[in-house]
Structure 1
Amino acid sequence: GSVMKPFVYASAIDAGVYPYNQLYRAGQFDYTVDPGTGEIIRLENGAVTGYPTIKDALGKDFGVLSFEDGLANSSNIAICELLANYLDVKTYENYLDKFGFFKATDIPFVPETSGAKNMSDATSYLSTGFGQASSITVLQLMQAYSAIFNDGVMMKPYVVESIVDSATGQTINKFEPEAAGTPISADAANQTKDIMRQVFAPGFSGEKFAMEDVDLTGKTGTGERYDPETGTYDTSVFTSSIMAAAPADDPKIMVYWGMVSSNYINYSAEPFQVIMQQALIANSVNGGTSDSANEPYGQWESYEMPSLVNHSIDYANNKMADKHVNTVIIGDGSSIIDQFPKAGGTINSNDNVLLLTDGQSLTMPDLIGWTRKDLTALWQLSGLPIRQDGYGKVVWQSIPAGEPIQADTEIEVSLE
């Protein structure tokens, strides 16, 4: 399924052919092949060529998109455009080989198959880019994604850390992390990783998987199941999956979750979210949704948010003193009249906690490193109009921190 799409982007970026700041027309892709050069040529919609029309999932027409939005919307047409007009079969096939697809990872204790590469014609080549025609294994997928999440260095998976003699305590065999290659540069990996962060933004394909306390990068996927007996794809049962890593800036945990079901639209994202959160907690990794002007606290800890409304600032500071969070006071009053999160909610280390006071004067908070969730909370508490551009974390604010502002002051921020 569509979890294959980031490898087209990574390949184009690494090969130096990615179309930055360019747009394409989504919806459907009708095409033919130049018999002399083998070049795939896109034609007007409805052209009859003998090649099957490729459409975006569920027949959606996203209109004109940037390629970055194309990935966030999981557009098949973005992949077709990249493979037809920027990459070529030989180049893309070489990258798939470098990523380790279609061959066993050869890890111990796990039986494997190698999958099947099918790029012998134009349709299969294009379809491989969005996760059809060819087949791969989950182990290959995990290994390949490790390069995107790990600065271009691909790590070989392993499932046993060590074998110890239960009688003597002697270590019989020990397995260590092992690099399996460098299919792309660190720069290409990080650019791809950053593009994938938008997948989880509101209105895009991975929105349901977004987590309040975790900054994710990754890709969702829906795939058709091939029936070898009929030689066709099943029209009633599909695969649904997600590959994600956190924290997005410097991934420490990656999770692949998937299922097979006829319900490929309205299923719950909670199983994935529980796995990701528990993996982060078990490894003492912070989810990365908030930054502090000081060095972030290095451990993941969860707390219950106390009730601070109708209490003094001193009281609030005392209640929050043992919690490694960033407490932001809004207004110059002495008593708290509203708070985010609400009492009883869960907060995690390095989260932003916003406390609105009964004061009349406001000063501009330092928004650098804030997420859209934090900005929404600030707007809901204070009523300050905030114009947001981009996705990720705030990297620029129109009004410097500490400056006096009014209740109707319009604030602009840029996120990356």
Structure 2
Amino acid sequence: MNTVSLSLPTHLRHRLAERTLTVTGPDGAPLADTDVVVEQTRHEFAFGNIAFDFVPLANGETSNAGSLFGGARPQAAAQLVEPFFDLFNFATLPFYWGSFEPEEGHPQTRRLANTARWVREHGAVVKGHPLAWHTVAPKWLLGRSLEETERLLRDRITREVTDFRGLVDMWDAINEVVIMPVFTAEDNAITPLARKLGRVGIVKLAFETARAANPDVFLLLNDFNMSPKYEQLIEDCLEAGIKIDALGLQSHMHQGYWGEERTLEVLERFSRFGLPIHFTESTLLSGHLMPPEIVDLNDYQVPSWPSTPEGEERQADEIRRHYTTLVSHPAVEAITYWGMSDDGAWLGAPVGFARADGTLKPSYAALHDLVKGEWWTSATTVRTDAAGRFDLTGFRGTYRVSAVGLSGDVVLDAASSGTEAAVALRGGCAD
């Protein structure tokens, strides 16, 4: 039997699936001895980035001067739409409470709903970040009692999860809990609440409130602290019966690439919980590195932080190594990079795949060569046998089979790998 097969090195073969497919026409009869074209249309793996840049653009705004979410100028963002969605199938939108609801009772629901629809129309799954966090908390919460703060936080979580159900069904439920009860960098109303409830208590509040609003919601526990303190928090939450759908691990590498050894060590420690791992916030610089003595990345503020040719070559190499390392580990299901453009990037750091003028850096080509090259099945012609069958082996995801002006889709995933399936071709080509 003829075969379409993607060849991968041993350390990536767990990402493959295989199926024997029978191609049928509109009448249900097998298309025997027929040339068919097979091509991948979507990855199962979530290759993501933040879509903050697109909030003004999706809302038809000509300036981001008054934007509460930062990001690139709309004219710069417009240049990035095609390269963004050609590479990324997963996008994170900003739901920081203090920016989302700067005035009590006046949330930015319409703007974010418009953006979520726009992102989905471009083919990406949307995640909201975050439902609960002590940073960028509303100033109007200050001075409220702990009881009222808790009620308002529960109401906020319920409102967003309910209002965005069907648009945003994945959330970072709570962010950076390890530091939350002892945070002192800015006055906020969430830290005292976390101190009162305890770390497990505030995680429980966020997860159970969100799940009550949408039983089908997918919720992450997210943190930058890769120490045993985060491991202990996870253990304590699981022992308390909190249902965590995935663990979020941040990797803002402003002070230098972690390297393969450290990355794999982190993955081994956190994979022991048996939960999917999302690398939720990855950054690698294409300019000078932040000094190693800086403890809080937010403390490093410089008037100019340019991307450089040498830095861009380093970033491209590190992007390839970082993504290859993460994809090689079976626990990792998603990677979200924290910035498409240097224009409006967090801390002004040159982290993006595009320069501030919108031109793409070598890092974009490096990642594209992996995601849509080495890890992708491009259009390939194969001939079915006398029973209309052929074997397909490829990166897990969605594939289109086309012949004689007809087309049909099939999914390769872990659950169906090794099984047989019929692909019914219909008129025209699906989008």
Fold agreement, TM-score > 0.5: no
Calculate the TM-score normalised by the size of structure 1. 0.28
- Choose between structure 1 and 2: higher helix proportion: 2
Bigger CA radius of gyration:
1
Calculate the TM-score normalised by the size of structure 2. 0.28
